[in-house]
Amino acid sequence: MLDTYRFIITAAPESIATALDEIKYGSHNITTNELAAGVVLVALEQFLDDWTVSLAARPPVFVRHIAPVHRELVLDGTAVDLDRLERVALGLGEHLAPARSFAIQTRLLDEVNAHLTRFEINERLAMAVQKATSIPLNVPQPEAVISVALAGDRAYLGVSPVAFNRSAWAGGAQRFAREQGQISRAEFKLLEAQDVFDFRWPDWGQALDMGAAPGGWTRILRREGLPVVAIDPAELDPRLVRDPGVRHLQTLIQRFLPTAERFSVIVNDLRMDARDSAWVMCEAAPALEAGGIGVMTLKLPHERSANVAYHALSILRKTYHVVGARQLFHNRSEVTVVLRPLDQKAARK
């Protein structure tokens, strides 16, 4: 007999239909209930083990966050609601693995439950679970999560390893504080990619920044100690112009490639069609050193965006190993992709 399994997924509101298509994996039946813009409660009929295997084998691009729903609680809008949430959380806490850290992640999806705050719920539930289980609390980097979502008169709670959730942040909504010296908000995209895809920048070689202006990504790479060749006809931020570790070539990337230079990092935030940008990235592939890394954004149109993204990814796979591709919280109409060089033997096959 098939399982009926419930979970909450989040995606950019304009991508939610595509996100739902991505997680069906041949499900016999799927029902949905929109809880808020870009937040959907899903019930599907499928063998759970089969579904999780499919999720690992074919990771979705447009799903930002997944939170299982193991318990549903009716709220009455009084202070007693917090006591009820605590009792359910304690029951879920019994399923946490000993010695593995956890966090409580709460989302308030409307204003119905204004008598409760995220901080109040997180603090109360975390203290109760920690006291009952002695499991360490680690809010920034938990190994497991008890998820709480409040919508209308309902609370939805579940427990899962953080890897299943796809993000250590509630709803996949990772926020960064503006840094001193920050050049552009585009820097958040690169910082989020590093966190979500869990990679480190090489401590050797040089970086190529394609479509660099005004220089946000170049600043991040310089902060990591890498000299940068920045390609863009537009001007860079004056602070980067004065940096001896930045070589700015005011030209089109198509005039720079192919190149005899070699790079340990190639990043690409070019403002062009995702498929064209993918071909440019492929042309740059011979310049990426073995052990190097590539990061790029795929700019998507308003219509048929999923098809364009999948086509661009198929182009990239001709010359790269795609480590991951996802529409991150700081992406707008785009998808971030992390790439590694193909094994030379695999590339010849």
For residues 57 and 179, give the distance between their C-alpha atoms in angstroms, rounded to a whole number: 37
Per the listing, tokens 């949430």 go with 85
DSSP 234: S
**Per-residue pLDDT, 103:** 97
> 3 falls in which pLDDT band (50, 70, 90)?
low
Q: Which helix (H) or strand (E) holds 105?
A: strand 102-108
Q: Is-contact 174 195, C-beta < 8 A?
A: yes
Predicted confidence (pLDDT) per residue in 231-242, tens digit: 999 999 999 999
pLDDT score of 14 more than 90: yes
**Per-residue pLDDT, 346:** 40
Residue (of 103, 102, 324) closest to 196 by Cα position:
324
> Over the range 272-291, which residues count as b (16 or more CB within 10 Å of their CB) and which as e?
eebbebbbbbebbbebbbee
Q: What letter represents residue 252's amino acid? A: L
Task: Give mean pLDDT, residues 291-318.
Answer: 96
For the chain, what percent of residues have pLDDT higher than 90?
A: 81
> 25 falls in which pLDDT band (50, 70, 90)?
confident
Per the listing, tokens 């691009």 go with 61
Active-site positions read 299
Question: Helices in the chain by DSSP H: which ranges?
Answer: 16-22, 48-57, 80-93, 118-133, 162-165, 186-197, 216-223, 238-241, 253-256, 274-284, 305-316, 344-348
**Per-residue pLDDT, 1:** 47
pLDDT score of 349 more than 60: no
Q: Residue ranges per domain, the chain?
A: 3-172, 186-348
Predicted confidence (pLDDT) per residue in 267-297, tens digit: 999 999 999 999 999 999 999 999 999 999 9
> 114 falls in which pLDDT band (50, 70, 90)?
confident
Architecture label for domain 3-172: 2-Layer Sandwich (3.30)
CATH fold match for the domains 3-172 and 186-348: no
Tell me the whole-structure pTM to 2 decimals.
Answer: 0.90
| Beta-sheet strand order (sheet of 3-10) | 29-36, 39-46, 3-10, 65-68
Superfamily holding 186-348 = Vaccinia Virus protein VP39 (3.40.50.150)
